[in-house]
Structure 1
Amino acid sequence: MGGNPGADPVGAVSRLVLPPAPRAPEPRSRTGECGRGLGSGGRDRPSATARRRPGSRPVPFSGSSVSPPLPLGPRSRPRAWSAAAAGGPWLGPGGDSGGMRLLFLAVLRRHTGNAVTAERIRDHLEAAGHVCLLKDACDLESPSEIAHLIEAENLEAALALHLYRGGRLLRGHGIPFGIIFGGTDLNEDVNHREKNEVMGKVLEEASVHMYSSKFFWKLKCRKQDRVHRLSHVPLAAQPHARGKIYVQSQGVVTVPNAAFSWDTFLRRSGINQSADNLHIFLLVCGLRQVKDPLYLVDVFSEWHREEPNVYMVIAGPAVDPVFTREVKARVKRTAGVRLLGEMPQEDLHAALKNCFAVVNSSVSEGMSAAILEAMDLEVPVLARNIPGNAAVVKHEVTGLLFSDPQEFAQLARRLVRDPALEKEIVANGREYVRRYHSWQAERDTYQHLVRTLERGVGE
């Protein structure tokens, strides 16, 4: 048990493909969707033993625990003052344009990882001085609409998040573009013959292919020619893919709200016990069936009847209205389980920091941001043993994996009673995130990729 969390194949690929870039100070976070970080904060964290534990006072999130704001890159102003909002390119100190005008297509449905990822990538690109026009691919269903937009906005290059949903709209416009693969590409669309053919044509025309490590457990790497094969996606092995493929780990950052009140959070959750002797397990998810938030309610109810200081709190937005009603009805009649709605990102991070452990019970995950954020905040993780979770949570190293509710109950009770196990898991999880999920490394990669597109302008 314990020791090094192990080598990460995606981190190795990133170092192989990309030249080292100079490190800049990491900026502080902007507010984003529930449970996903969009910026970064270089701060000192309390140790694992200083976190909220039963029998101790809550850890205050005072300004003294956060380092002073660090200087940012070109885009250091709030979004209201960004180049994109102003309608023109960022101007450098000499008044010259600092970058390109980019179109960025993504599916921007609220409460999804895609929307949050797109915002984070836009932030990376605008920080390099580019104007990034983010558009919902669902609102632009024809190439003619894209052509009009490119001309009207004087756009020079483009990116698409999702090979089929966004990439198919970028073909034939005469500007260089890059593709960022999404989970739907790899899990669903590749198995659809007509979509697969379109995806192959998009890849052939694209200047750059970007694989997020959100799905890196599906990847196999051939280092000798730097071509990365998807075990069930032959598109990446085609000759035109050579030299175009990059893999980068998902960047993670957490910035808890300094004014957050743990006692208020408990009252909102309907928990009217002393905060000094509670074990709160926090499940962060949008209320939809794939997240399976009801998977553990029975074991928590049984545990709560034995130990009334144990609770599971489910926090997240109502994504599926019908399923949300089912969840609310079930929770209402279940002891030891509470349900909260959507929370501001920084409040959610503060709640994560104060809880005893973070739980993930999803049926399917690419890579859970809540798991990575919990590790960053030095909080133990218990995750359902599915491929996306198992790629990050190394059992009894960076977290605990369970295959059924009964196994979860055994592991959770063990974690409560074994501080040494908790401490080791927390330390390994923190090291794993800092080593393999650097926000700055992600920023360097995307800025490098856009420089690749920039070289294609005018060719």
Structure 2
Amino acid sequence: MKVLLASPNFHQARGNTVTVQRISDNLNKLGIETEIINITDGSKLSSLPKADIVHGFNAYRFGHFMKGLREKPERYVITMTGTDLNIDLHDPVKKTLVIQTIINAEAIHVFDEEAKLELAGEVPEAKDKISVIHQGTVILSEACADYKKEHGTFLFLLPAGIRKVKNIPFAIEKLKVLYEKNHRIRLWLAGPIIEEEEGNIVKTLGDKNKEWVQYLGQIPHHHMGELYRQADAVLNTSHSEGQPAAILEAMEYNLPVLAANNLGNRNIISHEETGLIYTNPVEFLDYADKLVNNNELRIKLGHAAKLYVEGSHSSEYEAKTLQKIYEKILEKSPSKHD
């Protein structure tokens, strides 16, 4: 069996890239051949490489990509990655294409039960095609000596591509309130600039706060382990998430995570058990302050987070479940080329 994995922005170190590469690697371990193609940023493909099944990531992006193909794939699977479910599906301009892409898919993969309920509510015709598979995790290298935390400081790490939905200026502006009371606080931002305008805003804010904020740029994913190893806590301030790989990675490193109250974050983190979820700026400041000043809380949350990830986010299970979905599709609809 050959599976073609169609990923948006595959050339950039961002969540979808991590997800697609992990799935590809683990499908390969099961003896499944994979090929990854990039479907955004002016992709010039007008026809697809030969494959038994196409697996697209992000319903809107994949649907838009298919419009430019001379011949549409016979059978495809869709993974709803977050923005397509939480934003595009409710956008008057994009909604029709998202729904059309979903309805024509053989199977739809979401990361959690809440996402399944939301999608089934919006597109009832797709209800029986939706499968829930939690994201797996990958082992990261720590061989990156380019960045060193200052001795005696408390380091927050925010790993995210810089775009408006990630709400990175919020993290800088709110943490500044704590920094003015406690000069031990530091913030590292790690991720590519995806939206130039937002990148300029973040860089300007970073320059104004250079005593304690550092933008590290795009870090190769296999080097992220070193950043997690040095961090004291990890932030996620996104307005919307699917199931953020960066949070799962942080949790696997025993790190406490402070995250915005959105669908994807809620379905990974149990508030005050495996991390902290904030709903407004006051809560963000309160929880961030607690993380800085309560070592016992950090250890408790980090330990519970690691146990949760080890028990619920197996990459092997993720790949084997996708394999079953592919096989079921191929059994019920043999290719006209077979």
SS for the counterpart of 1:451 is helix
Q: What is the rounded CA distance, in whole Å, between the counterparts of 2:252 and 2:31 in structure 1?
A: 29
- Tell me the equivalent position of 2:173: 298
- Which protein shows a greater Rg? 1
Q: What is the rounded CA distance, in whole Å, between the counterparts of 1:289 and 1:383 in structure 2?
A: 16
Cα offsets for 1:359-394 (capped at 9, x unmatched)? 111122122221111111101111122232222222
- Tell me the equivalent position of 2:133: 248
Query: Are 1:177 and 1:453, in contact at CA under 8 Å, matched by a contact in 2?
Result: no
Identity of aligned residues (%): 28
| Greater mean alpha carbon deviation, residues 182-191 or residues 123-132 | 182-191
Tell me by how many angstroms 1:324 deviates.
Answer: 1.4
Query: Are 2:116 and 2:132, in contact at CA under 8 Å, matched by a contact in 1?
Result: no
- Tell me the equivalent position of 2:17: 115
SS for the counterpart of 2:189 is strand
Cα offsets for 1:176-210 (capped at 9, x unmatched)? 4433334354335544564266336514xx2xx13
Tell me by how many angstroms 1:320 deviates.
Answer: 1.7
- C-alpha distance 284-230 of structure 1, shift in aligned 2 (>3 A): same
Tell me by how many angstroms 1:308 deviates.
Answer: 2.0
- Tell me the equivalent position of 2:240: 364
* 1:231 and 2:121 correspond: yes
Query: Are 1:383 and 1:401, in contact at CA under 8 Å, matched by a contact in 2?
Result: yes
Tell me by how many angstroms 1:161 deviates.
Answer: 2.6
Tell me by how many angstroms 1:115 deviates.
Answer: 2.9
Query: Are 1:254 and 1:376, in contact at CA under 8 Å, matched by a contact in 2?
Result: no
1:136 to 38, 42, 48: 38
- Tell me the equivalent position of 1:159: 55
TM-score by length of 2: 0.83
Q: What is the rounded CA distance, in whole Å, between the counterparts of 1:321 and 1:425 in structure 2?
A: 35
SS for the counterpart of 2:285 is helix
Consecutive unaligned residues of structure 1, counting only runs of 5 or more, are: 1-99, 221-227
- Tell me the equivalent position of 1:218: 115
- C-alpha distance 452-279 of structure 1, shift in aligned 2 (>3 A): same
* 1:202 and 2:108 correspond: no
Corresponding letter in the other structure for 1:120: R
Q: What is the rounded CA distance, in whole Å, between the counterparts of 1:446 and 1:408 in structure 2?
A: 37
Query: Are 1:200 and 1:235, in contact at CA under 8 Å, matched by a contact in 2?
Result: no
Q: What is the rounded CA distance, in whole Å, between the counterparts of 2:159 and 2:334 in structure 1?
A: 43
- Tell me the equivalent position of 1:417: 293
Give the paired residue count. 326
1:451 to 327, 330, 335: 327
- C-alpha distance 171-377 of structure 1, shift in aligned 2 (>3 A): farther
* 1:319 and 2:197 correspond: no
Tell me by how many angstroms 1:282 deviates.
Answer: 0.8
SS for the counterpart of 1:295 is helix
Tell me by how many angstroms 1:174 deviates.
Answer: 8.4
1:183 to 57, 82, 95: 82
SS for the counterpart of 2:20 is helix
Answer 1 or 2: which has greater helix percent. Answer: 2
TM-score by length of 1: 0.63
- Tell me the equivalent position of 2:212: 336
- Tell me the equivalent position of 1:435: 311
- Tell me the equivalent position of 2:183: 308
Query: Are 2:22 and 2:138, in contact at CA under 8 Å, matched by a contact in 1?
Result: no
Q: What is the rounded CA distance, in whole Å, between the counterparts of 1:197 and 1:287 in structure 2?
A: 27
